[in-house]
Amino acid sequence: MAKGNLPKLHSDFSVDCVIFGFDDEELKVLLVERNEPPFKAWKAIPGNLVYDQEDIDAAAERVLYELTGLHNIFLEQFYSFGSIDRHPQGRVITVAYYSIIKRNDNGLHPVSGYAKKAYWWPADNIPKLAFDHNEIVDKALQTLRHKISYEPIGFELLPEKFTLTQLQHIYEAILQKRIDKRNFRRKMLSYGLLTELNQKQKGVSHRAASFFKFNKSRYRSLKKKGFIFGLR
Amino acid sequence: MAKGNLPKLHSDFSVDCVIFGFDDEELKVLLVERNEPPFKAWKAIPGNLVYDQEDIDAAAERVLYELTGLHNIFLEQFYSFGSIDRHPQGRVITVAYYSIIKRNDNGLHPVSGYAKKAYWWPADNIPKLAFDHNEIVDKALQTLRHKISYEPIGFELLPEKFTLTQLQHIYEAILQKRIDKRNFRRKMLSYGLLTELNQKQKGVSHRAASFFKFNKSRYRSLKKKGFIFGLR
DNA sequence: CTACTTAGTGTATATTTTACACTTTAATTT
DNA sequence: AAATTAAAGTGTAAAATATACACTAAGTAG
């Protein structure tokens, strides 16, 4: 695996997965503690080498599952990183994915051992990471921030039923700006894709908010006709 | 290189490059004729295996140079394709780039032999291509169509000096819709990024159009402040 | 029953987008 | 040299969208 003096016609490669979550306050990124020599550091979500029998999308799903115990999660490839010297152990090209998950209070259920030491970090305050992982997380963040302006990915961070205030907080956290409550609600409701449920919050010490759900299948059919769901 | 029965920890990989051009009428894609057995077909721009000593971006630039004789061209990675069976000769993951070039009447000056048989095809009428190259070209087109809505990539298809009508034709070709001339001009000029030159077309049998140039450095500084140049 | 906290709502103004048709200029034709 | 042809270049009104802004409603806690 060490770099040879003659060109080799193959390289190792891996998938990396940047995982975003939201805790009702701010956007978070899941980072794992790297304990292997030669140094100890945080790193972005583990890459995994990909095997010959596995599509890269499937490899990314596997990595995500091993870390979180979750299946059927929003997961999208966003860039591949291939500088010669990006990895100290030799040439490793990585195909990077980002994932957006709903954080529930049960926490994560990692399947494999290496994923045990994973913690959420504020997206706007990422520590120094191993290798080129800061670059990867940055690009994932850029992608997420851009994407929310033309696709309804905010809902991926929320449970099935959510309040408009929760949704607004997500847009504010991702777009990094304050949004007017009335204008936000008007805009979101104008698309006709949110259904108000006959349910309200319980146990809150103030007026209870209505729950809504997002009509995903209706969105998909509108999207085919050129409709854009987004907010700048 | 054939698929083994046991997992291998590496795979071959390549870069592919989808090249767009514009001939004052429509958007074109450069395709090369594939003559190697076992079959003959058009394919998207040649992938090339990447060597251990080469960054993937550099490899893409090299491929582009070999095909066109051009350097310093718009070139951007957009997706990686890694299905197990995408290539008949075994597992090859490819990092795909798209490029936008100015077509001048000199034509192309391919450097390497394999690129001699390259022809421009209308982007909306691509023939059946080898491997998964139709998928790759489709995704490149989607990327281009999306990108033009928030970045001034149209200028990459034009010479230094261009008329507003040329520019409009590019937007129409890429966005696949008619645009009102007055509204288009007003919008484009409103950004303050086009400088009208003291030069006009010559030898045209109608009123001669003014030439303009695009102020790229000014655009870059505006972009840093959050400015978006685009058209939907 | 009072205080506290967040949910929920309307309107006026500014900005942006859209739709639309004629005059100007240069070369070519007669 | 006058008429024809072809694309360049230009303004305005209406519609749609985005923005700015402040109070009332409802539920809980004390």
| B12 CB within 8 Å of a chain A CB | yes
Alpha-carbon gap, residue B53 to B66, rounded angstroms: 18
Using a CB-CB cut-off of 8 Å, the residues of chain B touching A77 are 79-80
Evaluate whether B117 touches B39 at the Cβ level (below 8 Å). no
Average pLDDT over chain A reads 87
Nucleotides of chain D in contact with protein CB (under 7 A) are 5-12, 18-22, 25-29
pLDDT value for B9: 42
**Which residue is nearest nucleotide C25, judged by alpha carbon to C1' distance?**
B207
Taking only Cα atoms into account, the Rg of chain A, rounded to an integer number of angstroms, comes to 20
Which nucleotide is at minimal CA–C1' distance from B203?
A: C27
Q: What angle do CA A149, A139, A17 make, to 5 degrees?
A: 100
Q: What is the pLDDT of residue A5?
A: 43
Q: Which residues of chain A neighbour B57 with C-beta distances below 8 Å? A: 82
pLDDT digits (tens, 9 = 90+) for A51-88: 677 899 999 999 899 888 899 999 999 999 999 888 87
**pLDDT of B105 over the 60 cut:** no
Tell me: the pLDDT tens digits for A199-230? 999 999 999 999 999 999 999 999 999 999 99
Distance between CA atoms of B51 and A184, rounded to whole angstroms?
50
pLDDT of amino acid B13: 80
Q: Do A77 and B77 touch (CB under 8 A)?
A: no
- End-to-end Cα distance, chain A: 46
Q: What H or E segment, with its residue span, contains residue A73?
A: none
For residue A24, what pLDDT is reported?
Answer: 86
How many other C-beta atoms are found inside a 10 Å radius of the C-beta of residue B160?
11
B105 contacts chain A (CB < 8 A)? no
- pLDDT by residue (tens digit) across B125-153? 999 998 899 999 999 999 999 999 999 99
Ordered DSSP codes for A126-193: ---BSTTHHHHHHHHHHHHHHHTTTS-GGGGGS-SSB-HHHHHHHHHHHHTS---HHHHHHHHHHTT-
What residues of A are in contact with residue B9 (Cβ under 8 Å)?
Answer: 12, 49, 51
Better-scored residue on pLDDT, B64 or A189: A189
**Predicted pLDDT at B37:** 58
Domains of chain A (ranges plus CATH)?
Answer: 13-147 (3.90.79.10), 158-224 (1.10.10.10)
More confident residue, A167 or B6: A167
Q: Is B51 in the A-facing interface, judged by CB distances under 8 Å?
A: yes
Strand D-proximal residues of B, range 69-88, CB below 7 A, are none
pLDDT at B70 over 60: yes
CA distances from A136 to A15, B18, B175 (A): 12, 24, 31
In the 196-225 segment of chain B, residues within 7 Å (Cβ) of strand D are 200, 204-210
Q: pLDDT band at A1, cuts 50/70/90?
A: very low
| A85 DSSP assignment | T
Predicted confidence (pLDDT) at residue B207 exceeds the cutoff of 80 = yes
What local confidence, expressed as pLDDT, does residue A67 receive?
86
Average pLDDT over residues B110-138: 85
Q: CB distance from A133 to chain B under 8 Å? A: no
pLDDT classification of A105: cutoffs 50, 70, 90: low
**Spatial separation of the C-alpha atoms in residues B134 and B126, rounded to whole Å:** 8
How much is the pLDDT for A187?
98
Cβ of B80 within 8 Å of Cβ of A56? The answer is: yes
Cβ within 8 Å of residue B37, ≥6 positions away: none
Inform me whether the pLDDT recorded for B184 exceeds 80.
Answer: yes
Name the packing angle between helices A164-175 and A133-147 (round to 10°). Answer: 130
Tell whether the model's pLDDT for residue B1 goes beyond 50.
no
Q: Which residues of A touch B146 (CB under 8 A)?
A: 150
Residue A151 above 70 pLDDT? yes
Task: Judge: A49–B9 Cβ closer than 8 Å, yes or no.
Answer: yes
Q: Which two tokens stand for residue A163?
A: 């309040």
- Give the pair of three-digit tokens for residue B30: 């450069």
Give the integer Cα–Cα distance in Å for A68 and A62: 10
Disruptive mutation site among B80, B135, B147 for chain A (greatest number of A CBs within 10 Å) = B80
Q: Which of A57-71, A181-195, B22-36 has the highest mean pLDDT?
A: A181-195
